[in-house]
Structure 1
Amino acid sequence: MTDLSRIYVDECLGGNRGLAEAVARAGLPPAFEEAWRAHLLPRPWFVRAPETAAFARDLEGLFELLVSLPLRLFDGDVDRYAAEVGIDPPLAALLRRGGSGVPAKFGRADAYHDGTGYKLLEFNLGSEVGGVDMGVFNQGLLRVPEFADFARVHRLDHVDIAARTAAVLRDRAKPALSGGGNPVVGLIEGRGGVAPYGRLMRATVEAMAEQGIDVRIGEIDDVRTRSDGKLTLDGTPLDLVLRNFAARQLLDDPAGPDVAEPFFRAHQAGRTVLFTSLESGFYSNKSALALLTDPRRRGSFDAAERALVDRILPWSRTLHASVPAELVDLCRERREQLILKPGAGYGGLDTFVGWECTDAEWDKAVRVAVERGGYVAQERVVPRPEPVYDPATGAVDDWIAALGVFLTDEGYAGTHARVNRADGGAIVGMSSNPDTRMVGVFSHP
């Protein structure tokens, strides 16, 4: 753990109620309050600035490795690459629509710190990753005097994810702006997506408004095309669509993927920018990470690239019906060291945790993963626990964090964290574990 976590908890135990209750006292804007107040940890998370900056640089290098894989390993044949990572032909065809061949460097890497360094669990590329509003938490906390004093003494800092995102949106929207100023942005979900995710989307709108960006919420079938080719939402012209829908949603849409055709046409015509394009989905699949750790591919990378992979990626292998029997047997034998994840999954859903399974349950899970295909076996990473003081009870418990490190074309764009009690199960994610909490992250020297 960082020494600062212990210092923070000791000050709370020593009677500094202002610090202990800083999160509860922090004034937060209404949409963020609605979306996150009930899910906040009683203290922020701390990371070391030099270590986090180094990890962010590694992520930039890893991004370049990922987008080079079709050319480097498959002679530029994207279909062969897609088949290898478990992307079926209809999805692969859709991911190409409206793309340039070079996906935007925009996304969130989820990582554990194991006590020696950061280990990457998955690299979520694309604008639908969510979480850009968490900088609001940091700003609210800094307005609490006792926390502001603590931050000043310990030289705390943070990178505002919303500010970095707003800068990217301004830059990407330039080709579609009819005049100067900030763009009007549509935050667009798939059909039926606003009802379950609306409160989170409103928090994003609020965070962007603080950055001077006008964001409007809608669903994909709410958007219309003007006679000049520009997209509109409720009659308002959109300079940029911030895509909150995934390609798989389009395939599952009753109207089929053509429901997104107006977005591709407007983007190609330069009338309304689609950010990000669907092609990010080629590289956010966890099976792409497995290619990087596969010893059969190791000769395709130079010494520095291999060192990068070894430094931040746990052992991973893709499972499907044609993998060697020896690999399947190895996965069965290593139950206590492995977790099985769907390559294109999210939030820990449909995941099998080996060390929480019986031998029989694990044998069935491996069999299911091989039969279904598209699953990744990943080596267990044990996150470093850190103490958290609960001001309501006075108790101190160990918690673990999945750190979400944001990356844009300009580099590192801030960090937030999802956290669970250390004894609360292996999956740290609100979709699969209702006890998961969200928290802002501060760095220190």
Structure 2
Amino acid sequence: MTLAQAIADYHALLEPALAIDSWQRLTEEMRARQLYFGERPLATVLRPRLITASQYDLLRRGTQQVAEAARAIVAAALESSELGQEVRDVLMLTPLEERLIAMHPGYLEPSAHSRMDTFLTVDGTSLQFVEYNAESPAAIAYEDLLTQAFLAMPVMTEFMKRYALTTLPARQYMLRTLLDCWQAAGSPGHEPRVAIVDWHGLPTATEFEMFRRYFTEHGLPTVICAPQDLSFRDGQLLAPTPEGSDMPVTIVFKRVLTSEFLSHYGEEALTHPLVQAYATGACVIVNSFRAKLLHKKSLFALLSDERFHDPLTAAQRAAVAAHVPWTRVVRPGITTYQHELIDLLPFVRKNRERFLLKPNDEYGGKGITIGWEASADEWDAALQAALTSPFVVQERVTIAYEPYPALIDGQVVISERLVDSDPFLFGTEVNGCLCRLSTVTLLNVTAGGGSTVPVFIIEDSPASGAGDDSL
């Protein structure tokens, strides 16, 4: 069995009647589970992402090695050494971020849960990383429930008569991570109680509710609130409950981005109830403010620059070389590219078809300029603008494409989509994976396009079920 053959077999099942029935069932299941990003359904296609066990092993191994390499390099940022200053200079941390990072989170892992955004080609010959969402990664709960929704489709039932599938649930790892961090910090408050914290009115609010239900069902009291709802009294962090009372919180599942938190509160962020509780050890924050060390886009400038490779093992260096694209902070000066010295700005200006520009600390595709899709004038303007605020320039990677079926006007239309494979990490271990599809180069659901689908590992033996059903 080849993966391409399995995909072709799946598509061959999509006769009009079965396709219509499957789309209706998927729509019903998404509605029942609130699988929406704002008002948009998460999935707009009829097939999940299928990967082989060997592809998943490559994804897990490569991601773990690069994640470990990243941690080995940024560890210096917590030191007062010359190397530490050089690392901080590349990361371009703000003074307020440095103040927050200096506070010990109570546990050692700088990013307890994260997501690596990657392109994994269907033939498994190319695995390229493009971003590391190490601060506030979304979609774990979405993917678990989307898996359930896809399994309910009649076409999946037919497909699994021939192919065995293994699911990749991840919510249980998120639950375990919260409790492990709390216990490592000395179990503040003696009882784990969670607040999921982000601004009100966000399109990801449905996922917060999914986590609240899941945590509560597993004996972990949980509320959802915004930063302005929190208070700190008598040594306790308090969050309002739907009943109108205050619940002591000992674990903050921090979904609010540090950059937005600091932008909103400014210097007053340092005396915010959340930071007061964190600084005094009254609660743990997951992820802590130290996740910022790994979240900055310029992390890839550290990884791809051999000047910072001394702490890395041979295996980590090989993984970085294979999977991490060349990246540099946008600033005047001499650097290296493919082992040759270059003057960065003239070189990047001349070779726009090789590169894209990214803000150092944004999300949702904001502010990105794709060189090979821009005119010379547009690229020059973007490069000039990138000198006025923290930006990175990153080399173009091999983008993964696959055919996906959608139901359009009652007919199945199969078209090529860009495919993002984004494994979830807990510490540096991969468990689970987000998959995003798009018809445009900027592959991001937040940016307003594309589809999300669950990921299944496929085997070519007769199926007796859907593999791991511990959702």
Judge same fold: TM > 0.5, yes or no. Answer: yes
Query: What is the DSSP-based 3-state SS (H/G/I as helix, E as strand, rest coil) of the residue aligned with 2:425?
Result: strand
Residue 211 and residue 378 in structure 1: after superposition, are their counterparts in 2 closer, same or farther (change >3 A)? farther
Q: TM-score by structure 1 length?
A: 0.87
Is 1:32 paired with 2:35? yes
| Alpha-carbon contact 1:289-1:316 (below 8 Å) kept | yes
Structure 1 counterpart of 2:193: 184
Matched residue count:
435
Aligned partners of 2:390, 2:263: CA distance in 1, in Å? 19
Query: What is the DSSP-based 3-state SS (H/G/I as helix, E as strand, rest coil) of the residue aligned with 1:94?
Result: helix
| Alpha-carbon contact 2:35-2:41 (below 8 Å) kept | no
Aligned partners of 1:326, 1:230: CA distance in 2, in Å? 51
Is 1:370 paired with 2:379? no
Structure 2 counterpart of 1:413: 431
| Alpha-carbon contact 1:22-1:146 (below 8 Å) kept | no
Alignment of 1:235-274 (within 5 A): 235-254=246-265, 256-258=267-269, 261-267=272-278, 269-274=280-285
* Cα distance, 1:2 vs structure 2: 4.1
Q: Which amino acid aligns with 1:205?
A: R
Q: Which runs of 5+ in 1 are unaligned?
A: none
Aligned partners of 2:167, 2:4: CA distance in 1, in Å? 16
User: Which stretch shows the higher mean deviation, 198-207 or 239-248?
Assistant: 198-207
Aligned partners of 2:109, 2:431: CA distance in 1, in Å? 20
Q: Which amino acid aligns with 2:73?
A: L
User: Which stretch shows the higher mean deviation, 396-405 or 25-34?
Assistant: 25-34
Query: What is the DSSP-based 3-state SS (H/G/I as helix, E as strand, rest coil) of the residue aligned with 1:196?
Result: coil
* Cα distance, 1:282 vs structure 2: 0.9
Tell me which of 344, 347, 358 is aligned to 2:375: 358
Structure 1 counterpart of 2:54: 50
Aligned partners of 1:96, 1:151: CA distance in 2, in Å? 51
Aligned partners of 1:177, 1:95: CA distance in 2, in Å? 20
Is 1:427 paired with 2:442? yes
Alignment of 1:289-368 (within 5 A): 289-297=300-308, 301-322=312-333, 326-368=343-385
Identity percentage of aligned residues: 18
Structure 2 counterpart of 1:400: 418
Aligned partners of 1:187, 1:416: CA distance in 2, in Å? 21
Residue 397 and residue 39 in structure 1: after superposition, are their counterparts in 2 closer, same or farther (change >3 A)? same
Alignment of 1:63-142 (within 5 A): 63-70=67-74, 75=81, 78-99=84-105, 102-114=109-121, 115=123, 116-126=125-135, 128-134=136-142, 135-142=144-151
| Alpha-carbon contact 1:316-1:379 (below 8 Å) kept | no
Residue 245 and residue 256 in structure 1: after superposition, are their counterparts in 2 closer, same or farther (change >3 A)? farther
User: Which stretch shows the higher mean deviation, 152-161 or 314-323?
Assistant: 314-323
* Cα distance, 1:302 vs structure 2: 4.2
Aligned partners of 2:103, 2:308: CA distance in 1, in Å? 29
Q: TM-score by structure 2 length?
A: 0.82
Aligned partners of 1:393, 1:429: CA distance in 2, in Å? 26
Query: What is the DSSP-based 3-state SS (H/G/I as helix, E as strand, rest coil) of the residue aligned with 1:401?
Result: strand
* Cα distance, 1:438 vs structure 2: 1.7
Residue 84 and residue 220 in structure 1: after superposition, are their counterparts in 2 closer, same or farther (change >3 A)? same
Q: Which amino acid aligns with 1:215?
A: T
Root-mean-square deviation (CA, aligned residues, Å) is 2.9
Is 1:390 paired with 2:397? no
Q: Which runs of 5+ in 2 are unaligned?
A: 336-341, 460-471
* Cα distance, 1:12 vs structure 2: 0.7
Structure 1 counterpart of 2:338: none
Query: What is the DSSP-based 3-state SS (H/G/I as helix, E as strand, rest coil) of the residue aligned with 1:348?
Result: coil
Q: Which amino acid aligns with 1:420?
A: S
Is 1:160 paired with 2:169? yes
Aligned partners of 1:287, 1:243: CA distance in 2, in Å? 22
| Alpha-carbon contact 1:186-1:233 (below 8 Å) kept | no
| Alpha-carbon contact 2:193-2:251 (below 8 Å) kept | yes
Superposed CA offset, 1:393-434 (max 9, x none) = 32211112212210103722211212112xxx21011232x2
Structure 2 counterpart of 1:438: 452
Structure 1 counterpart of 2:298: 287
Aligned partners of 1:339, 1:5: CA distance in 2, in Å? 32
Query: What is the DSSP-based 3-state SS (H/G/I as helix, E as strand, rest coil) of the residue aligned with 1:166?
Result: helix
Q: Which amino acid aligns with 1:187?
A: I
Residue 393 and residue 256 in structure 1: after superposition, are their counterparts in 2 closer, same or farther (change >3 A)? farther
Query: What is the DSSP-based 3-state SS (H/G/I as helix, E as strand, rest coil) of the residue aligned with 1:87?
Result: coil
Superposed CA offset, 1:53-72 (max 9, x none) = 33222222222211221456
Is 1:217 paired with 2:224? yes
| Alpha-carbon contact 1:70-1:76 (below 8 Å) kept | no
